[in-house]
Structure 1
Amino acid sequence: MTPETLPYDAPIFAPPSHPTPDKRIAPWQHTVAVILLLVGWAVGGHATSRMMPGRAHWVTYLSSIMMQWMLLGTCVAGVYGRGEFFARTLRQNARRWDFEILRGIGLYFCLLLIFGTGGALLRRMAPRAGFDSTRVHAMMPTNHWELAMWAFVAFSAGFCEEHVFRGYLLRQAIAWGERLGAPRLVSMAVSAVATSVLFGSLHLYEGFGGAILITLLGIAFCAVSLKTGNLRVVIVAHFLQDFIAVIAMMSHHAPR
């Protein structure tokens, strides 16, 4: 029976029945180096955000795409088993892709309702919380060619960031917590918060309030990825979040 003929609720790839005792997926030195790289990216991205408006869009898009894939490559280069890494992130407990895409769309709209409402309330109740859309507006496509490029930017962000934060850092942090003797649920909760704070810090260019919302979004992605056992659903939702947000912004600023 091929994946195309499987029922919607049938897993394509089941996890091993006897997992290895040591669940770390990379040497600790490699993980520390990745974290330092991300911290540097967060600080550098926030510091250079004011220089973004004068740059050509295609240069911004291309540099963003290259950085995303280079970051993913840096993570994958240090994992113990690269084939097993992608088997777990993309195939473990996976259903048919069309079903996963539908679940990703559903997750996107659920999170849009929750965080859209929460963001609006936060802006009204705490106007000084800090929301800065300058850089996002500066990256907004101005024609169909740039929109097509932005679609690949959004896909790269969804695929690469989910693998880095939920596929690599989250799993590694959980393994560290369990190795230190923490109960699995505690390790999962602490790891989800810690990795999501780092994830949110990469979006400090959106202001402090924006970074908080992205951190909460990261925690939601952590919960879903742990529940589903793979990254398919969160990759789809992440892509839609980045792509549709720009579409909505373009529609809002279109001449009437």
Structure 2
Amino acid sequence: MLLASRRRLRAEVLIVLGLSLGQSAVYSVVQLLDKMTRAPLAEATSTLNRSQSTREYFDLTYQLLDIVFALVPVVLVFYFLSLQASGGSAFARLGFNFARPGKDALQGLGLAAAIGIPSLGLYAAGRALGITTAIIPSGLDTYWWTVPVLVLSAIRHGIVEEVIVVGYLLDRFGKFGWSTAAAIVVSALLRGSYHLYQGFGPFIGNVVMGLVFAWLYTKTKRVLPLVIAHALLDIVAFVGFSLFGKAVGLG
């Protein structure tokens, strides 16, 4: 019975990852190989939040659709968790609720500051070493909706990555019988892998970030501070570039 349950959970995890960040990791590896076989990584560019239409309101529509549909695997995660939740909601199980809003916000802000500053140094070092592409956090044209959409995009990334890669996977890895250390390492490596299209510097930086975030989650059982921290990092990067036109490193 236990073996059958683990097999079902493994299939469940593969489905979730195949629809979300596992798929992104595969594409990221292919994109990295494509860039490396064209020219040195230092000459390559990685553009996030690309414009999808030259027509303003069609571009807005595409951007909003991308954000909404990217969150569907998160809904699927909470659905799967709710099937096994006992004595509480799936949201409470991952700490993705407003049970302690002030403390979560402060922890998220502190974590963003602690991760954000070193990531800029790592980006600069990666560029100097030629192992990181030039990262353009926003390729959107300037419209009245550009900044709000970038903020929503940042929140989307925070929710998708932290809920799936940290909260959900650590829960499922524990049910596989994995040690906490193994679960943390695999979660961190997955985080790094779907950033490989940006180069090896962002891969290393995101693995480190993943180790820190996953370790903190095992201590607090709260994913919301991680979502807040991640969203803040991306808001600064996306909106900062859009307003000031300077490439910055991303978490």
TM range (shorter): 0.7 to 0.9
* Aligned equivalent of 1:213: 205
What one-letter code is carried by the residue in structure 2 that aligns with 1:55? Q
Offset at residue 103 of structure 1 (A): 1.6
Distance verdict in 2 for CA 1:54–1:106, change over 3 Å: closer
* Aligned equivalent of 1:81: 84
Q: Distance in 2 between matches of 1:235 and 1:148?
A: 18
Of residues 31, 40, 63, the one that matches 2:13 is 31
* Aligned equivalent of 2:133: 131
Query: 3-state DSSP class of the match of 1:222?
Result: helix
Q: Does 1:250 align with 2:233?
A: no
Offset at residue 246 of structure 1 (A): 1.3
Contact 1:72 1:160 in 2 (8 A): yes
* Aligned equivalent of 1:11: none
For residues 86-140 of structure 1, give each alpha carbon's deviation from its aligned partner in whole angstroms, at most 9, with x where no partner exists: 1122269x8631222122111100111222223323333x22x132425x342x4
Structure 1 residue runs without a partner (length 5+): 1-22, 179-186
Structure 1 length normalisation: TM-score? Answer: 0.72
Offset at residue 191 of structure 1 (A): 1.2
Contact 2:48 2:138 in 1 (8 A): no
Offset at residue 51 of structure 1 (A): 11
What one-letter code is carried by the residue in structure 2 that aligns with 1:43? V
* Aligned equivalent of 1:5: none
Structure 2 length normalisation: TM-score? Answer: 0.73
Query: 3-state DSSP class of the match of 2:71?
Result: helix
Of residues 107, 124, 143, the one that matches 2:111 is 107
Q: Distance in 2 between matches of 1:232 and 1:52?
A: 24
The share of aligned pairs that are identical, in percent, is 24
Q: Distance in 1 between matches of 2:195 and 2:144?
A: 26
Q: Distance in 2 between matches of 1:232 and 1:63?
A: 24
Q: Distance in 1 between matches of 2:152 and 2:50?
A: 20
What one-letter code is carried by the residue in structure 2 that aligns with 1:227? K
Contact 1:132 1:207 in 2 (8 A): no
* Aligned equivalent of 1:116: 120
Offset at residue 164 of structure 1 (A): 0.8
Q: Distance in 2 between matches of 1:123 and 1:199?
A: 20
1:195-210 pair list within 5 angstroms: 195-210=187-202
Contact 2:133 2:198 in 1 (8 A): yes
Structure 2 residue runs without a partner (length 5+): 35-45, 54-58, 247-251
Q: Does 1:55 align with 2:52?
A: yes
* Aligned equivalent of 2:24: 41
Q: Distance in 1 between matches of 2:49 and 2:233?
A: 21
Offset at residue 231 of structure 1 (A): 0.9
Q: Does 1:65 align with 2:49?
A: no
Q: Distance in 2 between matches of 1:202 and 1:70?
A: 18
* Aligned equivalent of 1:10: none
* Aligned equivalent of 2:39: none
Q: Distance in 2 between matches of 1:152 and 1:50?
A: 17
For residues 132-177 of structure 1, give each alpha carbon's deviation from its aligned partner in whole angstroms, at most 9, with x where no partner exists: 425x342x46234121122112112212321111111122113323
Q: Distance in 2 between matches of 1:220 and 1:250?
A: 29
What is the number of equivalent residue pairs in this alignment? Answer: 218
* Aligned equivalent of 1:194: 186
Contact 1:27 1:78 in 2 (8 A): no
Of residues 216, 220, 245, the one that matches 1:228 is 220
RMSD between aligned residues: 3.1
Q: Which moved more, 1:153-162 or 1:81-90?
A: 81-90
Q: Distance in 2 between matches of 1:142 and 1:63?
A: 19
Distance verdict in 2 for CA 1:28–1:202, change over 3 Å: same
Contact 2:157 2:231 in 1 (8 A): yes
